[in-house]
Amino acid sequence: MRFATGLVLIDAPHSALNMLGIDESLADRNVTRVKTFKRGGKRYPYVSPQAWRYWWRSTLKEHFNWELSPLYREQKQVFTAANPLKYPDDDIFGYMRAFKKGGVNVTVTRVSPLKNTPLISVLPDRNSLTVDEGYASRHEGDPVPYSQEFYSTVFKGAFSLDLDAVGRFTIISKAGFKNLLTRGDLPKSRNKNNEEIFQEVEEMEKLAQELGVQMNEKEWLMPAEIRKKRASEAIKALRFFSGGAKQTQYHTDITPKFVLLLNVDAGINPFISDIVYEEKGDIKFDAEALAKRLSDLKDVIPEGAKLYLGYDDGFVKSLGWDMDEIVKKLKESGIGVFVGTVKEAIEGFVKEVEAYYG
């Protein structure tokens, strides 16, 4: 198994990217609050993982022309088409459709090959959060006061893309692994109540044949070129992220200003734990700790794989980081280190990912 893992840092110098809204549990009910969570006696702003995934999906549609899976509503559920052959976002981001239709159980679920953390502020709220006191005064009469929180911080987020799972769809009666409906799920008799389900299965089979999908009893496997394209574009999208709340008032560029990328032959992400941390109000990078961690993981890092480090000059200067010293320490891990801009690092890493599919 091969996982493309990464860490990104997003500079948010004056932002409110993912708001909680009005907190009805508090006495002060005219303040629009940011989302925070508590750790070790401190509170940290964060962007929810689903918001980050929404940005990711939207970027793939806008910059790579992905046709996104449509949304449907049945009973109290909202779900996608659950067609990973036709819609690449169903393949990469997974899905769950669980109900009966026309007397047929049409439940299918797929564990997302792409996993991501929330985007978490490196700085706690006491060092990053403030409240803007405003007044709505464009109407007649007295101005109406309102308040909204925003922050100045750096967000860190990590992700892992299961390269083996991309374009591979299992047909196993287990939550997350029953990816597709097949003829074995259909009733013996066809009638107007289940006609739609028969058509879904037939259309899926027809599309699979057109695309050259290997259709085995327990899994369907898409051609390597399609899997390669989907995996590489999912990673290339990192360079073009856009989105976030309150952009009209707190305009923020959410493209990563610092990335670490590495292929790992295990479900491990070496970047999740605290290698980027706060110390007395400053944001630090513990290259020595990461080098030791990578050295420990050498047996699951593919032969010839490199650690790709990409950064924006202005960003690291603002943090006071000595990149020459950081790279020197990272090389002590014994793993090759590629250093360049964010664009160069992502493009180099994508070549490794593509080579995995042959």
Domain end: 195, 221, 247, which one?
A: 221
Structural domain boundaries, residue 310 = 1-47+118-164+223-357
In total, how many domains does the chain have? 2
Question: pTM of the predicted model, to two decimals?
Answer: 0.94
Domain end: 197, 221, 245, which one?
A: 221
Quick count: other Cβ atoms within 10 Å of Cβ 68? 16
Q: Kindly tell me the burial class for residue 215, based on how many C-beta atoms sit within 10 Å of its own C-beta (0-12, 13-18, 19 or more).
A: middle
Answer yes or no: do 97 and 72 share one domain. Answer: yes
d(CA 252, CA 254): 6
Answer yes or no: do 23 and 154 share one domain. Answer: yes
pLDDT at 6: 98
pLDDT at 107: 93
Answer yes or no: do 110 and 83 share one domain. Answer: yes
Answer yes or no: do 208 and 319 share one domain. Answer: no
Answer yes or no: do 347 and 215 share one domain. Answer: no
d(CA 111, CA 117): 15
Answer yes or no: do 1 and 14 share one domain. Answer: yes
Domain end: 221, 243, 258, which one?
A: 221
Answer yes or no: do 109 and 174 share one domain. Answer: yes
pLDDT at 48: 97
Answer yes or no: do 279 and 337 share one domain. Answer: yes
Provide the token pair at 187: 């009733």
Answer yes or no: do 39 and 15 share one domain. Answer: yes
Answer yes or no: do 159 and 259 share one domain. Answer: yes
pLDDT at 146: 78
d(CA 234, CA 244): 19
pLDDT at 177: 94
SS3 224: helix
**Phi, psi for 67 (deg, rounded to 5):** -85, 110
Answer yes or no: do 124 and 257 share one domain. Answer: yes
Answer yes or no: do 349 and 248 share one domain. Answer: yes
Spell out the per-residue pLDDT of the chain, length 358, in tens.
999 999 999 999 999 999 898 877 777 677 889 999 999 999 999 999 999 999 999 999 999 999 999 999 877 788 999 999 999 999 999 999 988 888 888 999 999 999 999 999 999 999 999 998 888 777 888 777 778 899 999 999 999 999 999 999 999 988 899 999 999 999 888 888 889 999 999 999 999 999 999 999 999 999 999 999 999 999 999 999 999 998 998 999 999 999 999 999 999 999 998 899 999 999 999 999 999 999 999 999 999 999 999 999 999 999 999 999 999 999 999 999 999 999 999 999 999 999 999 9
**Following DSSP, what letter does each residue of 62-127 receive, concatenated?**
HHH---PPPEEEETTEEEE---TTT-HHHHHH-EEE--EETTEE--EEE--SEEEPPEEESS-GGG
How far is CA 244 from its chain centroid? 14
